[in-house]
Structure 1
Amino acid sequence: MDITQLILDDHQEQRRLFSILEEIDRSQTDVLSLIWDRLASFLELHAQAEEEIFYPELLRVGVAARRKDGVEDETLDAIEDHNEIRDAVAEVARYAVGTDDWFAAVAASNLANSDHMAEEEREGLTDFRRLTGVSQRHQLAVAFAAYEARNFAGVRSVDKDPSGYVRRVEQGVPAGASGSLSIGALKRT
C-alpha cells in the first residue's frame, strides 16, 4: 500500500462521481442530490486527509532533501486549491438541485478539482515518490486510510491560510488545529 496510490485512487473516485452527475437526468433531483452530497463530503474528507498526513510529510522530506522552496510552493498551491474547491462546493449549495445554475456550479467545482488533481499528480505525488521509500509511503498510506475511515461521515469544511499552514507545519505544529494525527513534524531528526 502506498499513500500516493491511495491519493490517485481517491482522484479516480472523484472523477467517477462527477461523471455520474453528468449522466443523471436533471429531473431526478433526489438522485442528483444524493450523489452530490456524497461527492462534496468526499472532496472535503480527501482534502483534509492530505492536509493532515500527506502535505506535512511532503514538506518534511522536501526540506530534508534541500528542496524546501519547491515543496513549499507545491504545498502553498495545494492549500490554495483546496480552498478554491471548498468555495466552489459551497457555491453549489446556493442553487436548486438540477437547475442550470446548479449544474454550472457543479461544473465549476469539477474544473477547480480537476486542475488541482492534475497539478498534484504531476508535481507533489511525483516528488514524493522520488523523495521517499516504499516503507515510508506504506506507513503514511495506513495513516491516510485510517483517517478517511475514521471520518467516513465527513469533516467540517474550513478554508486555511496557505502561508500559515506551511509556517505551522515547518515549526512542528500539527497541521490541523484539532484532531491532528501529528504526522510530519519537520523538527524530527
Structure 2
Amino acid sequence: MDITELILDDHHEQRRLFAILEQIDRAETSVLSAIWDRLATFLELHAKAEEEIFYPALLQVGIAARRAGRVEDETLDAIHDHNEIRDAIAEVARHQVGTDEWYAAVAAANFANSDHMAEEEREGLTDFRRLAALPRRHQLAVAFAAYEARNYAGVQPVDKDPAGYVRAVEESLGSTVSGSLSVGSLKRT
C-alpha cells in the first residue's frame, strides 16, 4: 500500500462521480442530489486528509532532500486549489438541483478539482514517490486510509491561508528536520 496510490484511487473516484452526474437526467433531482452530496463530502474529506497527512510529509521529505522551495510551491498551490474547490462546492449549494445554474456550478467545481488533480499528479505525487521510501509511503497510506475511514461522514470545510499552512507545518517539523526552514517561496513572503 502506498499513499500516492490511495490518492490516485481517490482521484479516479472523484472523476467517476463527476461523470455519473453528467449522465443523469436533470429531472431526477433526488438522484442528482444524492450523488452530488456524496461527491461534495468526498472532495472535502480528500482535501482534509491530504492537508493532515500528505502535504506535511511532502514538505518534510522535500526539506530533507534540500528541495524545500519546490515542495513549498507545490503545497502552497495545492492548499490554494483546495480553497477554490471548497468555494466551488459552496457555490453549488446556492442553486436548485438540476437547474442550469446548478449544472454550471457543478462544472466549475469539476474544473477546479480536475486542474488540482492534474497538477498534483504531475508534481506532488511524482516528487513524493522520488523522495520518500516505500516503507514511509506505506505508513502514510495506513494513516490516510484510517483518516478517511474515521471521517467517512464528512469534515467541516475550512479554507486555509496557504502560506500560514506551510509555515505551521514547517514549524511543527522544526525539531525533526535539520536545516533552515521557511526557505524557497516563503522566504519572500
Give the TM bin, normalised by the shorter chain: over 0.9
Q: Which amino acid aligns with 1:136?
A: R
State the alpha-carbon separation in 2 of the partners of residues 89 and 153 from structure 1: 16
State the alpha-carbon separation in 1 of the partners of residues 154 and 96 from structure 2: 22
State the alpha-carbon separation in 1 of the partners of residues 132 and 109 from structure 2: 32
Deviations 1:102-144 (A, max 9, x none): 0000000000000000000000000000001110000000000
TM-score by length of 2: 0.93
State the alpha-carbon separation in 2 of the partners of residues 133 and 73 from structure 1: 22
State the alpha-carbon separation in 2 of the partners of residues 99 and 153 from structure 1: 26
State the alpha-carbon separation in 2 of the partners of residues 71 and 132 from structure 1: 13
Which segments of structure 1 move beyond 3 Å, counting only runs of 4 or more? Answer: none
> Is the aligned partner of 1:161 residue 2:161?
yes
Q: How does 1:99-138 map to 2 (within 5 A)?
A: 99-138=99-138
Q: Which amino acid aligns with 2:175?
A: K
Q: Which amino acid aligns with 2:65?
A: A
Residue 186 of structure 1, CA deviation: 4.6
Which residue in 1 is equivalent to 2:180? none
Q: How does 1:4-83 map to 2 (within 5 A)?
A: 4-83=4-83
Deviations 1:67-112 (A, max 9, x none): 0100000000000000000000000011000000000000000000
Does the 8 Å contact 1:60/1:186 carry over to 2?
A: no
Which residue in 2 is equivalent to 1:176? none
Which residue in 2 is equivalent to 1:179? none
Counting aligned pairs with the same residue, the percent is: 77
SS at 2:152 equivalent = coil
Which residue in 1 is equivalent to 2:176? 188
State the alpha-carbon separation in 2 of the partners of residues 30 and 10 from structure 1: 24
Number of residue pairs aligned between Structure 1 and Structure 2 = 177
Structure 2 gap segments, 5+ residues each: 178-189
State the alpha-carbon separation in 1 of the partners of residues 153 and 74 from structure 2: 29
State the alpha-carbon separation in 2 of the partners of residues 159 and 49 from structure 1: 14
Does the 8 Å contact 1:59/1:186 carry over to 2?
A: no
TM-score by length of 1: 0.93
Q: Rate the CA distance shift 1:5–1:95 in 2: closer, same or farther, 3 A.
A: same
State the alpha-carbon separation in 2 of the partners of residues 55 and 155 from structure 1: 18
